[in-house]
Structure 1
């Protein structure tokens, strides 16, 4: 989850900074609205995208976990036994439930506030008299200093309406909010904030979108009446510090100067075309950089096993097969046994040697893979490829590490490794598509000793 949130935030931040630097002060407001909403969407979509690139390197054999003819309980021993903690080691405190509880509490409070604000607005349309017009419904509120908009409702002063004192420019401004459905943008933003309240970029986006709504409404007023000085004078006369209701489109005092500057701004067609093209390229580039990339592979005909790992241009060095460990070298008394000849409800239960029948003792076999299959040194190409966190999850001597930590090592420091393809439905939040366990010499020797002293063994018919 954390890599997803970091990538999402960086994508939104990059696109928002681009907007602030190059687009906000230009007058093509409709495109800016689409861009800002697209920025919000890109933050959620980009980390989920997976781009498949054509293979450029030969495929080297890997050792998929799936080929092991033993229950899944054995996989953690195979991949991470070198640095695994003993059963007596106390597990570290799990903070995840605490963080999720805190997140749920804050999100619940924000959703309650969101629902309460909706209720207040809807209730207000029921409590006060309304006037239907072709484009909107006017809600007459006693003592309201300035109009504001919610969905197709325009809330205006009851006294001003009956005394015909509502300026036409202000009504045109609010009608622009209604016709262009700005409330939908605000509702979407509020919902996003309810669930993504910890992301500071969302608040910056909200302010930019709200300001652009004002630019759009001002543009409609000036296009209709063609009298910018008169409209600016009217806005200055309406300055107020009274806080508006949430979820509404309203006159924002803090943005008056920016709005006045924008009314006098004109972007030439050539500059507009260049900026829009650049913005689209930046948007596409951010989606590409924020997505995960995988390398397409061509499986052999009839191949049903998981994809092999693209990591090498030459085979890794492996020890000779005659290093296979026989049963006589293992401590069978302390072995953990998985029987394939017992009833279907028991093969995944680890048995002790004393629990085996005489028949099962005659059918004991070592579990794959043998230690010699793991002992190999990666090629420099393989080792460099492992540093890509979007492709590989790395466990060094049994401990999950950041891929960048491999910079402290050389390929020859690694004497054993195994890896597997991670299917989509089993991938971790980090998003890597292969997982590898790699060992230094000391860890491999410990693994070899543990393998002999307390082995995993299978009971299979000959």
Structure 2
């Protein structure tokens, strides 16, 4: 999921940079509106598109994490506690969703309060809300909010401007981005998108309104006073000071040449680049696959009677969570242990674990003089295209442990190789391996 979110954000960065460089200064306002509405949706779809031609550019090599192997005395094993099952990332995500939902609802309620509180006047095609002692002007769907302190000479122009927002359903665009802000509150690109489309809305309304009013008079009305605005992100505001300068520049600018519409074609190589990146990252060499499945599978080794138990390991009273990570993309046929059914990852895991139990010399730890406690060992190996276990790499707290682990891994039988698109592929594995060294003095 994290990899997917990163790809979505990167796509949106590409689209926004493209917009700012090539399209933002053009007067193709309706096309730009369509671009700003469609590209966020496209960014959610692109990561799911898989182009085989691009994928074959890189070697088919996958990286899979196996469940942790723990070798410990029987007395160290304890039952799991509640806090282990808590997913803090999910908690933070839902807190963010809740906060932004509350903010959105509070702004929505504020609008309904304004409608109930102030005098309303039904007009043909819209409802006018008169705001007492205010110079605010904004719209929300068919409601146009107009401060009574605004000079009468300016009101008709403002209404014409806001009617464009109403008729073209600009409020729907802004609500769309409010929804995206709720579900992706951590993504700054959504906030930038909303700012860009808000400005495009004003360009569209200004373009139509200035056809009915002399452009100079219209601009003078924008500059005549410093007006207050409502702090609501999803309403279309006439007097928004941060946008006025840009609106005036765009109104006084000559219309873009039709030939400039060819700039939209530049998007084609941009999309091709994004698809190339997304397709290749799914099969890139030494890719680290994010965890999707959490399991509690511990191998316990007891002197002279090794056995397997489902439990958790602890370090000085602290529970250590054990996870299994599998590829988010589907490998058609994963490598497997001889005798296991094709694609049966559980069988593969059990066989590897059983192999360690039977072959690893747990008595070795008593002779090395290691300090009591948990000792981490990292194991990496590759099952090549022929099924041979190769490239065994071990990081251990003692050379003798490293030698023993390499010896045990070297005794693994030839595996059934993995397959992708009908071809044999190499798959790299990583196994976290934990050893517990007892305090023999306390035991005595």
Same fold (TM over 0.5): yes
Q: Please name the residue that 2:429 is paired with.
A: 437
Q: Take 2:54 and 2:11, find their aligned partners in 1: how far apart are those partners?
A: 25
**Pairing partner for 2:306 from 327, 334, 339:** 334
- TM-aligned CA deviation for residue 84 of structure 1: 5.3
Q: Aligned ranges for residues 32-71 of structure 1 at < 5 Å?
A: 32-53=32-53
Change in 2 beyond 3 A, CA 1:257/1:158: closer
1:150 correspondence with 2:140: yes
The residue aligned with 1:175 is 163
User: For 1:191 and 1:434, how far apart are their aligned partners in 2?
Assistant: 43
Aligned partner (choices 209, 213, 222) of residue 201 of structure 2: 213
1:210, distance to aligned residue in structure 2 (A): 1.0
CA contact (8 A) 1:80 1:397 kept: no
**What's the counterpart of residue 378 of structure 1?**
384
55 and 239 in structure 1: CA distance in 2 versus 1, 3 angstrom threshold: closer
CA distance in 1 between counterparts of 2:145 and 2:11 reads: 37
Q: CA deviation at 1:175?
A: 0.7
Q: Secondary structure at the match of 1:145?
A: coil
**SS of corresponding position for 2:135:** coil
Gapped regions of structure 2 (runs ≥ 5): 287-302, 310-349, 356-380, 397-408, 435-444
Structure 1 residues 438 and 216, CA gap change in structure 2 (3 angstroms): same
Which residue of 1 is the match for residue 220 of structure 2? 233
Q: Give 1:56 shift.
A: 6.2
Give the aligned partner of residue 2 of structure 2: 2
Structure 2 equivalent of residue 14 of structure 1: 14
Unaligned segments of structure 1, at least 5 residues? 66-75, 296-310, 312-330, 338-366, 387-394, 400-413, 424-432, 447-462
Q: Distance in 2 between matches of 1:419 and 1:211?
A: 59
Mapped contact 2:8–2:47 kept (Cα < 8 A): yes
1:248 equivalenced with 2:235 (yes/no) = yes
- State the shift of 1:290 in Å: 3.5
> Residues 185 and 287 from structure 1, CA distance in 2 versus in 1: closer, same or farther, beyond 3 angstroms?
farther
TM-score normalised according to structure 2 size? 0.60
Equivalent position of 1:127 in the other structure: 117
Which of the numbers 102, 112, 115 marks the counterpart of 2:102? Answer: 112
What is the match of residue 136 of structure 1? 126
Shift of 1:42: 2.6
Provide the residue aligned with 1:25 in structure 2: 25
User: Within 2, Cα distance between the matches of 1:42 and 1:256?
Assistant: 31
For residues 368 and 21 of structure 1, do their structure 2 counterparts lie closer, same or farther at Cα, with a shift above 3 Å needed? same
Aligned residue number for residue 184 of structure 1: 172
* Cα offsets for 1:325-378 (capped at 9, x unmatched): xxxxxx9953559xxxxxxxxxxxxxxxxxxxxxxxxxxxxx86897xxx9873
Q: Do 2:127 and 2:142's aligned partners in 1 also have CA atoms closer than 8 Å?
A: yes
Which digits, 9 at most, give the CA deviation of each residue in 1:159-205, with x for residues without a partner?
A: 66xx9544322111111111111111111112211222211222211
TM-score by length of 1: 0.57
Equivalent pairs counted in the alignment come to: 327
Distance 1:40 1:54 in 2: 23
CA separation in 1, counterparts of 2:249 and 2:382? Answer: 68
Q: 2:212 aligns to what SS in structure 1?
A: helix
Judge conservation of contact 1:13–1:201 (CA < 8 Å) in 2: yes
Change (3 A) 1:215 1:101: same
User: What's the offset of the Cα at 1:262?
Assistant: 1.1
Q: What is the CA distance between 1:30 and its match in structure 2?
A: 0.9
Aligned to 2:318: none
Q: Helix, strand or coil for the counterpart of 1:267?
A: coil
The answer to whether the 8 Å contact 1:11/1:287 transfers is no
**Distance in 2 separating the partners of 1:293 and 1:284:** 14
TM-fit CA distance, 1:275: 0.7
Aligned in 2, Cα 1:437/1:283: closer, same or farther, shift over 3 Å? closer
Whether contact under 8 Å (1:52, 1:293) holds in the other structure is: no
